[in-house]
Chains A and B, each alone.
Chain A
């Protein structure tokens, strides 16, 4: 359910850019939600679709990239890929992992049109 709050935050970021850059509409919104970011991408997409109506995001295409998680394996002394928290290291099967990336939740880019 927190995806609704996050969609509101995303809309605020886009509307701040609208005020600054004075464009007419957003045609493409590009987001990044890492595999370990704690975001359910389908719920976020749904929330954005609902909230976009009546804003500059209306009818914008929404692309959400989901980079995989990466973690430092204490046993293997190397960076390994994990798709979710609680997964073991693929190399050694151990759980001594410290996530290093895939935690990000960002608005990376918008494509806009002026009138």
Chain B
């Protein structure tokens, strides 16, 4: 950077690149040849010369002055602060929060309904609550409520993902007894994200883990096509396996592709409608919850 005017056009260490039209935007004609590297602004009325009238903050009072401000701020910093608050709250209440992500139509809501019913049988005292994200309608929350579990629908309008503030707002509207709990009283909060295999990957909601659901009616190479989501997930649920006999879906290739983008991703294969594989899924949930409350 030129230490006099702050521009980067001289053959000196490049720091700030000041475009010509914004450099010395005032009533001066600039004599600023970087071949010779002069730094002079000439007042057109008086002919006076002004040195150092640039972004290096060598101040000339009353003159338009360019300056550089270092920000170094994470674009998602605000979301991440809300996410950290959510995470702290969930931890304090021993609540396992799972962020379920997938394309539209992978069977997330069907899987959730089946999961809630199965958990009722297996761990009847376990409180379960659901936050549903969709662009429009409360159809999914209605399906969840029909199981007896409390659910809050978030309609994002034109939004393509849930963010941490939305989840905090929705969680505060769930019935009070889902907010209390100590030790092993804490339950499971399922957050069903907007059906979208791209955008929700970037937003931390304060969840314990992201779970990506992929149905076998989709392409087995989806992990390669949408790597960010599979990289962000701890578990891949391969759903609708009851349809495998009717499809050309190579399960082994799909898992290999998922592990290309995320070598440590865990995999559960199941069918939410037939019930096959549900035990492994419940085992995984209960193991995560145990880890959450410090039991292993």
Contact = CB atoms under 8 A, between A and B. Distances in A.
Interface string B34-78: 000000000000000000000100000000111111111111111
A10 B75 contact: yes
B22 A104 contact: no
Interface residues on A, range: 35 or more
A38 to B, nearest CB: 4
Interface in A97-115: 97-99, 104-115
Interface string B264-280: 00000000000000000
Nearest to B225: A86
Interface residues on B, range: 35 or more
A106 B70 CA distance: 11
A93 B22 CA distance: 48
Contacts of A37: 202
Contacts of B17: 28, 63
Interface in A9-67: 9-10, 12-13, 17, 21, 23, 27-28, 31, 37-39, 61, 63
Contact of A27 (B66, B71, B79, B224): B66
Interface stretch (B91-99, B123-131, B255-263, B284-292): B255-263
B156 to A, nearest CB: 10
Given A2-B161, A107-B73, A112 B66 contact: yes
A110 to B, nearest CB: 5
A111 B54 CA distance: 11
B261 A107 contact: no
B260 A95 contact: yes
B231 interface: yes
A114 B72 CA distance: 21
B69 A112 contact: yes
Contact of A106 (B22, B72, B161, B257): B72
A95 B73 CA distance: 31
B101 to A, nearest CB: 13
Contacts of A1: 160, 198-199
A95 B64 contact: no
B16 interface: yes
A80 to B, nearest CB: 14
B208 to A, nearest CB: 20
Given A17-B71, A111-B16, A114-B65, A84 B227 contact: yes
A99 B76 CA distance: 19
A21 B69 CA distance: 9
Interface string A70-96: 000010000000001110100000011
Given A9-B78, A28-B18, A98-B263, A110 B71 contact: yes
Interface in B202-228: 202-203, 223-224, 227-228
B38 to A, nearest CB: 21
A23 B67 CA distance: 9
Interface of A: 1-2, 5-6, 9-10, 12-13, 17, 21, 23, 27-28, 31, 37-39, 61, 63, 74, 84-86, 88, 95-99, 104-115
7 A-B pairs closest in CB distance: A2-B199, A85-B227, A27-B22, A95-B260, A38-B228, A86-B261, A86-B227
Given A12-B78, A86-B223, 10 more contacts: A2-B161, A2-B199, A17-B69, A27-B19, A28-B17, A63-B17, A85-B231, A105-B74, A106-B74, A111-B68
